[in-house]
Structure 1
């Protein structure tokens, strides 16, 4: 359906709203913030885990929304950290019920909201990842909530319960692997976040399948391995979150994110004089 003539009008910028750059043509679609804007000569920024951007992305200088990535990363990190400690058997605690509050409130709801805000700022990768992992935590909390009785059909068949949990975790392993492939041209810390998370899902899924086969010792070791990788993923998520929050105005130091040598930023650094890569 084509827009009415009065809904779309051509606007020429004066240069004052583009930091003195040459005027560019753009189009106003009735004030819709998601409308396409012809950005003209505006440069692209290098991949950055603090923005949850695995590739070149548009400058955020004139963005009306704050960066939602650190919020989503922090929500993911804290919830993952607590569950991973339990998976490792820290202080001999085995029941994961304490995670319910975090999974519903912080890792679930708050991370889901961060994903929606990523959609508003035009970050498809961030919206997909944060919204999906927010959904993961909510669905995991539903599995643990007695009132939902989601696993009630398997009460008399523990092996079947372990198998379906293995299916559940295997699906998240596959999804995380897809996201991992999108970080291969970004930064080392961004890549390692998804790499360790993917291994955590793989270990936990294999642990559930081992449990369904009656291999209790193997299941325990795989669960602990999954917990270890989960803790690494949590700290890497916090690392990327800090990279997105800290700048010269609020921190005495900026942490490195280390661009891959084959990334756009890495090739630029090799072809020109050394420059800051954070």
Structure 2
């Protein structure tokens, strides 16, 4: 075969390979493993052009939750309710999760985009509340002139911020229901996050009542839950990185999409029966 014929044959082979790769449909289980989002039809080829942003958002959640859990449990002499991790909450929690939200929104992955938007705003809020220059608690104690007035102001602050955790728990509970269309680790993250926020709210309410011992125990329990929720997050993140580098080992994630079929799938099945 001549050199020219060999080049033409190689070019045709490469074109066939590219066309084949472009026309391959990703299985729904793999799609949910990559994006933590039920597969949806979107216009354009952005998912084939841009990288997968989901591990970026997860990375922010993992580092933030892991460190906060250890702090709340007081491991290694740590403490302060996570105040030492304000920078981590801003950068890893707030910035990375917000970047993940923007990129997922661009790709058309609505569910995980909404989740990352919530977590990004949540961690920014948490960090701002603990930032000394913001002095959120100062609004309740600025006019205090006696220890009793100072304690009353702190109690009012604790009782007020507890509602933030409660309504966050309600929203996370709805996320948890929606995650039944994705996979088991993602469902576990929401389950534990909801419990974490309930415990944080109860800790603040007990502190507002002056039950500091009970409040501290609830805070330690919330730290344990925060640390526990990092494990399924670490697992999903590792599974996604393995996919990114085409690692020979593929970690199963317990796909739930076949257990909880979507409304469109049910309608299609009904039409086929009719």
TM-score by length of 2: 0.76
How far, CA to CA, are the matches of 2:71 and 2:26 in structure 1?
45
Task: Report the CA distance between 1:185 and its aligned residue.
Answer: 2.9
Which runs of 5 or more structure 1 residues have no equivalent in the other structure?
A: 1-14, 23-40, 266-278
Task: Report the CA distance between 1:17 and its aligned residue.
Answer: 7.5
Q: 1:219 to 1:148 in 2, by over 3 A?
A: same
- Choose between structure 1 and 2: higher helix proportion: 2
Equivalence for 1:241: 237
Larger radius of gyration: 2
| Deviation by residue 1:40-92 (Cα, 9 ceiling, x = unmatched) | x9676136254121x34459895222111111001111011111111112123
Q: 1:18 to 1:180 in 2, by over 3 A?
A: farther
Equivalence for 1:262: 259
Equivalence for 1:268: none
Aligned residues: 233
How far, CA to CA, are the matches of 1:249 and 1:21 in structure 2?
19
Q: 1:153 to 1:240 in 2, by over 3 A?
A: same
TM-score by length of 1: 0.75
Check if 1:214 corresponds to 2:199. no
Pick aligned residue for 2:64 from 72, 79, 83? 79
Task: Report the CA distance between 1:215 and its aligned residue.
Answer: 1.8
Equivalence for 2:4: none
Pick aligned residue for 2:28 from 38, 45, 49? 45
Equivalence for 1:200: 196
- Choose between structure 1 and 2: higher strand proportion: 1
How far, CA to CA, are the matches of 2:177 and 2:36 in structure 1?
14
| Deviation by residue 1:169-190 (Cα, 9 ceiling, x = unmatched) | 1121111111111012321111
Task: Report the CA distance between 1:99 and its aligned residue.
Answer: 0.9
Q: 1:18 to 1:124 in 2, by over 3 A?
A: farther
Equivalence for 1:92: 77
Equivalence for 1:63: 48
How far, CA to CA, are the matches of 2:226 and 2:218 in structure 1?
12
Task: Report the CA distance between 1:217 and its aligned residue.
Answer: 2.0
How far, CA to CA, are the matches of 2:244 and 2:154 in structure 1?
54
State whether residues 42 and 58 of structure 1, in contact with CA within 8 Å, keep that contact through their aligned partners in structure 2. no
Check if 1:164 corresponds to 2:160. yes
Equivalence for 1:186: 182
Which runs of 5 or more structure 2 residues have no equivalent in the other structure?
A: 1-15, 142-149, 263-274
SS of residue paired to 1:263? coil
How far, CA to CA, are the matches of 2:230 and 2:60 in structure 1?
10
C-alpha RMSD over aligned residues: 2.9
How far, CA to CA, are the matches of 2:40 and 2:35 in structure 1?
10
Equivalence for 2:226: 230
